[in-house]
Structure 1
Amino acid sequence: MFSTRKRQITPLETIRKELKKKIKYSPSVSNKLTFSEQELLNKIKRITQEHNLNNVTRTKAYLEFYLRHPEIHWAFLGHMVSRNGGWNMTDLKGEFLTKLLSRKEKESFFHFLERGNWLIFQDIYPQFLLYGESLKQNRPMFYLLPQLNVSMFLETIWNYFWRVRDTYSLCIALVINEQSYLEQRVVQNPHYQKEIFDKIGFQLQNWLSLNHIVFPSEGNHVKGQTLQQFQSLHERILLGKRLYAVLFKNVDFHREALDWAICHPHTGSRKDYWPHLFNNVNEAIPGNTYSLRLKSCQLRKGARRIYSPKLEHSWKNVSQQEAEPGDWFHELSVVDYLEDDLEMIDGEIKKEYCKTLELLEVAALAKKTIDSF
């Protein structure tokens, strides 16, 4: 006899089915809001704007939200990745890249990094605030997400999370969303293609592998991953999945990284995690001959620390134009990324990162020597 029991529908099939309905009907955004709904949206926009001043305020807001809602894993992942964004920004005014890049190149890099950091926050933080309000009212309010210009993909995902509490799927869906959101607005933007990707400076970054994402923890330990093809949306999404595995699938490391993040407020200086190697005060003495100082992420005897300034001393706050309109979601194939297909990743990156610092120091010294002739 054949079994009459129906095959159980998998979570991904459920999500795919609901998204298919969204694509088919894709209702226009309704302007019929109650007074309380409009008040809520105005409040969400105001709070988001208050926290979206610079990389430090954004990074702090992510961590504070995670501490209130640890079920939203992206908030901590986003916090740690955003720290890296801040370090990349201050590197441009730090010891080595100051010698390697022109003033215009440094400014172009900063505005590129800042635009992406700003765009992600103004897209995702309203989602967090709406989730918090849903908890307060004990009902899902994600039907308001289109009013905040959030992709229909996320409206479906948040409603699914509300029912099932699948923390992994929500986090990876947010990774997919944010990287897809940046694709046309930043990565494929003609201005950044010309000023960043086509310039020698970006090639220099790739050559020196300055695309490490490092997650510090107590005891000078770091784990992380390296992105080889920044311009590939596919690779950036896979990187997000690997970073999730490093940060969340190892319970001990997750606890150590969270403890470190709580005890070390983000300033933008790499001194935050390696004070033995970096200082936010420039220890250089004018006129002194420069010599190599690094060896295996330790300073040679008598060598001064590497200058890594705070963000507030590096760049002024930037007034951003409104985000470009449009929904990136058109293809159901992105749901495949939600498959939980990664085991725990150790994320050992210290040796690779230390080698990068040494190469960077050599390149800066060589440039300084050439310029002196």
Structure 2
Amino acid sequence: MKPIITKDRELVAEIRRLTNRANRNNLTRTRAYLAFFQKHPEVHWALLAHLVSRNGGWNMTDLKGEWLPRVMEPKQIEDYFWFLERCNWLIFHDAYAQLLLYEQMKTTGQDMTPLLSHLGVSAFLAPIWKSFLLERDSVRLTRALIVNEQQYIEQRVVDKPFAQEKIFDRLAFFAQSFFSLNQVIFPYKEHPTDRKLRVCGMTVQRFPSLTQRIAIGKNLYQLLFDNPIRLHKIYEWARRIPHTASRADYWPHLFTPGHPREADTARYMPRIERNGLKPGMPKLYSPALSAVWPDQEHPPADGTDWYRDEQWQAELEERADMPTLDDEAYIRSLQKQEWGVAIFQPLLS
């Protein structure tokens, strides 16, 4: 790493300060991604990160919502939240600093990519950003950031003993997959007069697999940006609806942040049908993040540069075509989830 002059050292410190300020919780991270994309729409990854971070927030509040407290122990809930929060925090810590440096380079017209190493960014990304300054290849940059961020959490979270023992080896993680609770969805309004939002997305399978997570990220990017008309509708929804991490943000006809949930000991009775709730049934409890999870203190991001093998360059050239889901598939997955809760809750009580 080359020595750094005072002016550049001050810029790195300011980027770190701004990154830390915005990295307070899932809500502040998600807002920061969207605000950046609004100013720099050529950085497609920022909108993808915003929407995936929204999903991360929904997963966090699910842990205190209608279903999971019925089938998970409190300690498992705490562990799983920390896993989600740590991944969300680490990705923002690494990626948002890069976005802020790019913003500075765009403003000044100067190539400051040598400062990436002083921000702890992998050597994999320096030539990518340098090329992007000249060519504005949004697809290549997005794929590179997807690869990098999944590599970044691989050694810092996924491959840690905590994740292996407390998350992936526990019944709770497999229950998440069984109940289809590991989905990423993008809401949008098909027509301006529609009251109900549509969703598109995909189910995340085999999360512990690095190559699978990269493929999922690339596929989500394609789903988001391959259809310009739908992209505009998804973006308009994201811009219009503030992120609270309650699922009522996108489907208030089905979820509510304020309806009191039945006691955990009460047997759950399925209440979803094809078009929404069965008549007379209360909405599903989906709290706002601020109501159920306090801000967390994080240890520093440890680890070393992951980039050792040029095989990862091939990921920048390849698409990843995987199954996606629509409204009908999503509502079926919700029905599967609540039937799973109804069946498993008595067995676990």
- TM-score band by shorter chain is over 0.9
Residue in 2 that maps onto 1:192: 163
Pair 1:258-2:235 in alignment: yes
Distance 1:341 1:325 in 2: 29
Distance verdict in 2 for CA 1:337–1:253, change over 3 Å: same
Give, in angstroms, the shift of residue 346 of structure 1: 9.2
Distance 1:361 1:336 in 2: 41
Residue in 2 that maps onto 1:355: 332
Deviations 1:44-89 (A, max 9, x none): 0000000000001000000000000000000000000000000000
Pair 1:242-2:219 in alignment: yes
Contact 1:264–1:272 (Cα < 8 Å) also in 2: yes
Residue type of the partner of 1:140? D
Distance 1:289 1:90 in 2: 21
Which of 314, 317, 323 pairs up with 2:301?
323
Residue type of the partner of 2:67? F
Residue in 1 that maps onto 2:207: 230
Distance verdict in 2 for CA 1:234–1:289, change over 3 Å: closer
Distance verdict in 2 for CA 1:289–1:164, change over 3 Å: closer
Deviations 1:125-155 (A, max 9, x none): 0000000110111111111000010000111
Distance 1:289 1:150 in 2: 49
Residue in 1 that maps onto 2:29: 58
Distance verdict in 2 for CA 1:337–1:285, change over 3 Å: closer
Contact 1:151–1:327 (Cα < 8 Å) also in 2: yes
Contact 1:71–1:167 (Cα < 8 Å) also in 2: yes
Give, in angstroms, the shift of residue 367 of structure 1: 3.9
Contact 1:223–1:346 (Cα < 8 Å) also in 2: no
Distance 2:275 2:330 in 1: 9
Distance verdict in 2 for CA 1:348–1:288, change over 3 Å: closer
Distance 1:155 1:288 in 2: 55
TM-score by length of structure 2 reads: 0.94
Residue in 2 that maps onto 1:204: 175
Q: Helix, strand or coil: the match of 1:213?
A: strand
Distance 1:118 1:259 in 2: 26
Pair 1:337-2:315 in alignment: yes
Deviations 1:304-359 (A, max 9, x none): 1000000001111110000113001111111111115468x894332232222112
Which of 71, 75, 80 pairs up with 1:104?
75
Deviations 1:73-120 (A, max 9, x none): 000000000000000000000000010100000000000000000000
Distance 1:272 1:56 in 2: 13
- 255-264 vs 275-284, greater mean Cα deviation: 275-284
Residue in 1 that maps onto 2:341: 364
Distance 1:330 1:285 in 2: 52
Residue type of the partner of 2:337? L
Distance 2:167 2:261 in 1: 30
Residue type of the partner of 1:353? Y
Residue in 1 that maps onto 2:289: 311
Question: What runs of 5+ residues in structure 1 fail to find an aligned partner?
Answer: 1-28
Aligned residues: 342
Please report the RMSD computed on the Cα atoms of aligned residues, expressed in angstroms: 1.8
Distance 2:286 2:32 in 1: 23
TM-score by length of structure 1 reads: 0.88
Residue in 2 that maps onto 1:20: none
Give, in angstroms, the shift of residue 303 of structure 1: 0.7
Residue type of the partner of 1:125? Y
Contact 1:72–1:171 (Cα < 8 Å) also in 2: yes
Distance 2:280 2:10 in 1: 60
Pair 1:278-2:255 in alignment: yes
Deviations 1:243-289 (A, max 9, x none): 01110010011000000001111101000000000000124466987
Deviations 1:218-243 (A, max 9, x none): 24110011221111111111111110
Q: Helix, strand or coil: the match of 1:152?
A: coil
- 197-206 vs 351-360, greater mean Cα deviation: 351-360
Contact 1:59–1:83 (Cα < 8 Å) also in 2: yes
Answer with 1 or 2: which has the greater Rg: 1
Distance verdict in 2 for CA 1:297–1:239, change over 3 Å: farther
Contact 1:277–1:297 (Cα < 8 Å) also in 2: no
Contact 1:284–1:304 (Cα < 8 Å) also in 2: no
Give, in angstroms, the shift of residue 200 of structure 1: 0.7
Distance 2:25 2:276 in 1: 31
Which of 143, 146, 165 pairs up with 1:172?
143
